Structure 1
Amino acid sequence: MGVGTRRSSRRAAGQAPQEEVAASGAAAVALVDESPKRGTKRGAGGKNVRANPSKKRNRAEEQGQTASNLESVQEDEHAQVSQDAPVCETAEEQEETLSTTKGYDEEEAEECDSLAPEYSQMDSDMCFAAYGSEQSDGEDNTAQSAVCLDEEGRRNQQHSDVEEVAELIGVNQFTATLLLRSVAWNKEDLLSRYMDDPEKVCASAGVPGPSASCEKARQSKALDEFECPICRGDGPSKVTALACGHTYCDTCWGRYLTMKVNEADTQIICPEPSCTLHVPEDVVGALCSAETLAKYRNYVLESFVNESRTTVWCPRPACGLAVDVSTSSSKYVSCAQGHSFCVKCRAEAHAPADCDIVNAWMKKCDDDSETFNWLSANTQDCPKCHACIEKNGGCNHMTCRKCKFEFCWVCLGNWQEHTDFYTCNRYDPAKVKEGEDSKAASRAALERYLFYYHRYMNHEASRRLEAAFRERSAKKMEDIQKKEPHRLWGDVQFVGEATEALSNCRLVLKWTYVLAHALPDESKEKNLFCFLQEDLEKKTERLSELLESDVEVLLKPEVKSEVQVLASVASNSRKKLLKGVEDGLATTPLPTM
């Protein structure tokens, strides 16, 4: 299948800018070059030649053009496998590069065939019809790098949006902040709505409309005679009133605002029950401590992400980065720290399993994994009502608390039959067949679940070592440069690139076991899926073993070449598997978990 893959890949590599024509039962490719001048075409030597109406001349030019493009295709294939290959400028260098590329192709084909000899006779066209070619234009579910914002970046972006809105519609920054929060920080949506009906937008946000007087935004003064509606104090006191006119003493204001901030409420409204006016930030700063004001501002900053529809927190614990997902065309994005996650469900990137399967699996793991393990070893099902029963003593005479049925713990038979003649040591298949069938089905389902669960957790454990593994690979690249100072950073970058490829493969393998658990057993789709899964797993483990080598070993040219080739082969296998699922490899109805 490896050879079939290579041929299909080479054939597909040149199809993007070309037109495919059938000739003599084979696919003939007619290539039209985008020449810089009208009336010219590029010949075999790469030179521009003027078009001639002569048919013989045109035919020669087309043949030369095809040869030139085939050389380009082969060079592109080599560039994908060996990223540090020099750019060829001379004919000798081109010939050497094509020879090296041929060696890589043959090695990849032999490696693919050796991984699955039992599939060597499988028809390659049937395989690609089932799960697609690696060069397909379809999405490969690789996480795209997205725009990330740390705390300082979020603060600057928030301040910029607030200032722009405040300037455009002529309000203060606090009012602009409340207006933006009322539309989930969508600046364009706010401006559109405000131009249509400013009074309605302001009312829904709980801020004074354009017709309200700015002079009454806040009034603070000392009064000799004032009874606070909250504390009922009637002595001399300093009071504060908002634009709504509701006045309270500063002591009650401070207590009220501090309580609200401690509850993480940053859209604080006037204490008057019938009032909906929001308390400005300067009132919080004037009547609360510096610590409370800092906490208030931090909550407002977090709302920039928590209330946004386009900016989300990276779900990795302790990451702290916010990710803009509005411009991503992929199902998955990754933050600046390399943590990838699903745009839809905000969980870790889980290709090839979809969100519904992942949600069902995670719920099952939370509810069943450890419980099933313990139940399997320590409990029996009541023969009558099938309730799960734990033995809490040495006696084998059991009484079900649910249905009060008395039975023997050893044979699960009715205890009344143990009176005159003890039959516990006699096995009667006909008598216990019905109960055993039910129990066997339950145990089989448990064993099936645990099979996939243990393999899922095995790859999860490998993923947990990702951070340390990345650090080790970076250290190895530094060590290589120290040992050979003449090497450029690009000469040792292959270690980091291979490590990234390994991380992507392990993440996909982890979730393949979740999808495999959902697929019906003994189906044609699952058999092919498991073959692709096994193929990817073998290549991933081999790549992992190579990357664990010492620096001296990685410096060897043959090892470096093997790492590069294996990283490319493993990445292609990952793309094939994901493309296969996307194209319908696993489109059969899935059973419930």
Structure 2
Amino acid sequence: MTIVDNVRTIPNQVLSQGNIFSEMILVASKLDFLLPITPIQQILLLLKFDWDTESLKNSLQEYADTNSFLLENGVCPENTVSVINNSECAICCSTENLLGLRCQHMACLNCWSKYLATKITSNQCLLRCMEFGCGMLISNEILGKFIFSSKLKVAHWGLLKDSYINSDSSLAWCNKKCGMAVRRSNCDTVTCSCGSKFCFLCNSDAHHPATCRQFQLWKEQRSNPDGMALSWILSNTRECPRCFVPIEKNGGCNHMKCTGCRHEYCWNCSQDWRTHFGGCKQPDINVAQTKLNSRANSDVFARYVSRFDHHKKCLEQEQQIRSSISNISGIKFRKTLDECRRTLMYTYVFGYYLKNGMYTSIFEKHQQNLEIAVGKLVSQWNVRHPGKIETQQIERRVWELVGNCSTLRKTLLDHCAKGAEHENLGGRQPNRELKRVVTPQATTNTVENVTPGTYDSVGFCIDIIFVIILIGVGYCLWSCIIF
């Protein structure tokens, strides 16, 4: 549960396609003093070593000369294509000019084009000679002599960039697929230049303060009301430590590689495989994280979903209204209200996966305070009447409410930061404690009606029966003592 509200948040960096390519060239240039090859060939070699320059340098030290190292890893320093005129192709048996790499495995241009097109369309960026068992690699410089489709060339460049982004744990593509990449700073919630704000770890829309695991379980439970699919996922899978995608292990060793983010880790202890030394340290696994609590009450979940949807609807309506606001006070109001609405949305996800107790009671009180403050802020903003005498007073009141909302939001998030030990992934259980009954509003121009301290009817009846029994027992004891 990563929360950094007490730490100064550093803005994340957004990389364009050109920025990404420049970084790739910069990384490749670090090999200039070791390998006398072109930058494209350096990128090809880094691609084979998963962009791990240290691993490449260590491997290079095992060879007497650089040429032997390059040829052993399928990179030809000359970077040429051999041509044989009017010869029979061993694949399609047609008589044409044959092309081949240094390995001298020859084929016609049509066969090369089809082979490479198949590889690229199947998302393989490391292209090799078509001869079975041959490890000679095909660089982008040579690729242009085998295929002429601009779409395939662009697609291959995209695969190269994908490999670079996936190899760097601090980089991720924008979740809205706008073509930009984002470098994380010290916060898991990042913002792209297109306006998308998303979670760096799971690539979903920003869901702070809910954790990635909580948000995934929330979505699963919403899509599977009976809970059967969710129960199977919790019992038979474990999430990737990097992207939190559920993974099932049906055999083999503990060395796992996520097909989504390509992170390599140990199945038992979830440690990065590159630093997995000295044996495996099996952690204590919380049973609540692997099994669904069968006692979860669907009514409780429905109530939390209702509040989540209410704030989501308010957020959408308010975004349409605020799109015309351009003055300074309006921009501040818009930013604060947007942050508070999003926070309230996902506190219902966070709150659903908490154990009943004192921590949760305090959390709900902070949540309630922020809801009331947001309702007052919206109401005060909507009663402004530009041009009248009281406008300045109302404007001052809006600024006070904006500051109050920001303070209450920070207080709520600070409390959420301490919630890891109070987590219950089985979901909230129904109890007879005091509950808050919140009446959803259809619009955003009124204060939200939050009525704390209301007993549910079943709990009230049980309490009455319990009191009557106690009175009866007391009367019997009193009678025995007197007589």
Settle same-fold status: TM greater than 0.5.
yes
- Which among 290, 302, 305 is matched to residue 453 of structure 1? 305
The structure with the larger Rg is: 1
- CA deviation string 1:219-273 (max 9, x = no partner): 332324x33221133x3x2121212222212221122122222333221111111
Find the residue that maps to 1:260 and give its secondary structure: helix
- Which among 570, 576, 581 is matched to residue 405 of structure 2? 570
Find the residue that maps to 2:71 and give its secondary structure: coil
Matched AA of 2:402: A
Name the CA shift for 1:170/1:463 in 2 (closer, same or farther; >3 Å): farther
* Partner Cα distance (2:110, 2:34) in 1: 37
* Partner Cα distance (2:366, 2:32) in 1: 56
Q: Map residues 78-157 of structure 1 onto 2, 5 A cutoff.
A: 139-140=5-6, 144-157=10-23
- Contact 1:509 1:533 (8 Å CA) reproduced: yes
Query: 1:209: how far off?
Result: 5.1
- Which among 100, 115, 134 is matched to residue 275 of structure 1? 134
- Contact 1:305 1:312 (8 Å CA) reproduced: yes
Q: Map residues 176-325 of structure 1 onto 2, 5 A cutoff.
A: 176-185=42-51, 189-190=52-53, 192-198=54-60, 208=71, 214-215=77-78, 217-224=79-86, 226-233=87-94, 235=95, 237-291=96-150, 292-315=152-175, 317-325=176-184
Matched AA of 1:448: V
Name the CA shift for 1:530/1:256 in 2 (closer, same or farther; >3 Å): same
Q: Map residues 373-522 of structure 1 onto 2, 5 A cutoff.
A: 445-464=297-316, 468=320, 472=323, 475-477=324-326, 492-521=327-356
Which residue number corresponds to residue 196 of structure 2? 339
Query: Percentage identity across aligned positions?
Result: 22
- CA deviation string 1:169-215 (max 9, x = no partner): 32222221123334544xxx40x333333177999xx9635997633
Query: 1:550: how far off?
Result: 6.8
* Partner Cα distance (2:368, 2:56) in 1: 58
Query: 1:546: how far off?
Result: 4.2
Name the CA shift for 1:210/1:528 in 2 (closer, same or farther; >3 Å): closer
* Partner Cα distance (1:176, 1:565) in 2: 58
* Partner Cα distance (2:376, 2:199) in 1: 28
- CA deviation string 1:126-173 (max 9, x = no partner): xxxxxxxxxxx9734897530001233333333444455456632222
- Contact 1:146 1:323 (8 Å CA) reproduced: yes
Find the residue that maps to 1:222 and give its secondary structure: strand
Matched AA of 2:422: T
Find the residue that maps to 1:265 and give its secondary structure: coil
Question: TM-score, length-normalised on structure 2?
Answer: 0.64
* Partner Cα distance (1:466, 1:265) in 2: 45
Matched AA of 2:309: M
- Which among 338, 354, 369 is matched to residue 535 of structure 1? 369
Name the CA shift for 1:284/1:591 in 2 (closer, same or farther; >3 Å): closer
- Contact 1:539 1:570 (8 Å CA) reproduced: yes
Q: Which of the pair is proportionally richer in helix?
A: 1
Comparing 446-455 with 349-358, greater Cα deviation is found at 349-358
* Partner Cα distance (1:511, 1:289) in 2: 49
- Contact 1:495 1:547 (8 Å CA) reproduced: no
Matched AA of 1:505: C
Query: 1:513: how far off?
Result: 0.9
Query: 1:288: how far off?
Result: 1.4
* Partner Cα distance (2:75, 2:189) in 1: 46
* Partner Cα distance (1:511, 1:552) in 2: 35
The RMSD of aligned alpha carbons is 3.7
Find the residue that maps to 1:238 and give its secondary structure: strand
- Contact 1:332 1:349 (8 Å CA) reproduced: yes
5+ unaligned residues in a row in structure 2: which ranges? 229-292, 428-483
* Partner Cα distance (1:283, 1:538) in 2: 65
Name the CA shift for 1:282/1:442 in 2 (closer, same or farther; >3 Å): closer
Aligned length: 357
